[in-house]
Amino acid sequence: MAVNETYIGIQDEPLQDRGWGAVAIDLIRRQPLGAAGGLIVILMIFAAVFAEQIDMYDPEVNDFGAMLQAPSLDHIFGTDEFGRDIYSRIVHGARTAMLVGFTAAILGSTIGLLIGVTSAYFGGWVDNIVQRVVDVLIAFPSIILALAIVIILGRGVGPVIVAITIPLIPNCARVVRSSALAIREIPYVDAARAMGFGHVRIVLRHISPNIMAPYLIMLTTFLGQAILAEASLSYLGLGVQEPTPAWGLMLKSGAEEYAESAPWAVIFPGIAISLAVFGFNLFGDAMRDVLDPKLRDR
């Protein structure tokens, strides 16, 4: 297909010899959706890091003189039923979302990577046992797993991260294993073994670096999933607890009773969740296009 060939042609031009501006313009031209996603991601990280600098009010302080106010110049997204500024809570909520999202995604994909590579490298009964455990975790309803973990460990940010991470691990382990099976057969692994290197060194230094593409793809996919999972758990009252600002929690307290009289209390947090996940997904898609040439036109 002609379109495809020119596409690959552009991709092969060297990027190094040009300035950052030119590279950025090039990126926007090749991956317009990915660039938009990247912009949203940067915006979210910026809000998470500089929450104190860009908020307008303290997100946890009640103001009973200003309950359920419509958006105005004083409160650009309005206030909730405790008079807290919704804009400030969204900005601080970004910190919770990014903290949980990044930690869970990085932990989930990294542990999955190690398990997948180890399983493929040793093969035999080790592989068999690991794969059966992976089967169980994939088949197990993840929301119930998360629910049980949160009840056992108690509520708060830490347990929520554990509860979101564990269901992610088997998905990554399975994908990584199938890639690692192919890598294992390449002669340099034999060469490393012939050099007398230990298993740990071969797994960490020789096989894992060659599985970076599927690893990074899983990692970016998990970011969006983890943010959504955090919002869902908080919405069910099982995640981050009040008065910590979290997007899902804002929907829980705003949604039930005030939706009709104060729609801003449910509209803005929802937009924040959707926008964040949307940005991470666009970015992840572009990343996949760049990293995995076979999937480029998917």
CB of residue 183 to another protein, shortest distance in Å: 19
Calpha distance 3→1 (Å, rounded): 6
Q: Considering the rule CB under 8 A, would residue 51 count as an interface residue with another protein?
A: no
Q: Considering the rule CB under 8 A, would residue 255 count as an interface residue with another protein?
A: yes
Q: Considering the rule CB under 8 A, would residue 187 count as an interface residue with another protein?
A: no
Calpha distance 199→116 (Å, rounded): 14
Q: What is the DSSP string of 180-244?
A: HHHHHTSHHHHHHHHTT--HHHIIIIIIGGGGHHHHHHHHHHHHHHHHHHHHHHHHTTSSSPTTS
Of 203 and 223, nearer to another protein (C-beta) is 223
- Evaluate whether 250 touches 269 at the Cβ level (below 8 Å): yes
Taking CB under 8 A as the binding criterion, the range among 21-29, 45-53, 61-69, 266-274 that sits at the site for another protein is: 266-274
The values of phi and psi at residue 156, to 5°, are 130, 175
Of 106 and 267, nearer to another protein (C-beta) is 267
Phi-psi region of 13 (alpha: psi -120 to 50; beta: other; left: phi over 0): beta
Of 117 and 266, nearer to another protein (C-beta) is 266
Taking CB under 8 A as the binding criterion, the range among 60-68, 79-87, 88-96, 147-155 that sits at the site for another protein is: 147-155
Q: Considering the rule CB under 8 A, would residue 264 count as an interface residue with another protein?
A: no
Taking CB under 8 A as the binding criterion, the range among 113-121, 155-163, 193-201, 253-261 that sits at the site for another protein is: 253-261
Q: Considering the rule CB under 8 A, would residue 152 count as an interface residue with another protein?
A: yes
Q: Which burial class, exposed, middle or buried, applies to 167 when counting CB atoms under 10 A from its CB (0-12, 13-18, 19+)?
A: buried
Tokens of 174: 């399975």
Out of 2, 73, 139, 200, the only residue in the binding site for another protein (CB under 8 A) is 139
Calpha distance 149→92 (Å, rounded): 25
Residues that bind another protein (CB under 8 A): 1, 3, 33, 132-133, 135-137, 139-145, 147-149, 151-152, 224, 228, 231-232, 235-236, 248, 251, 255, 259-260, 263, 266-267, 269-270, 273-278, 281-282, 285, 295, 297-298
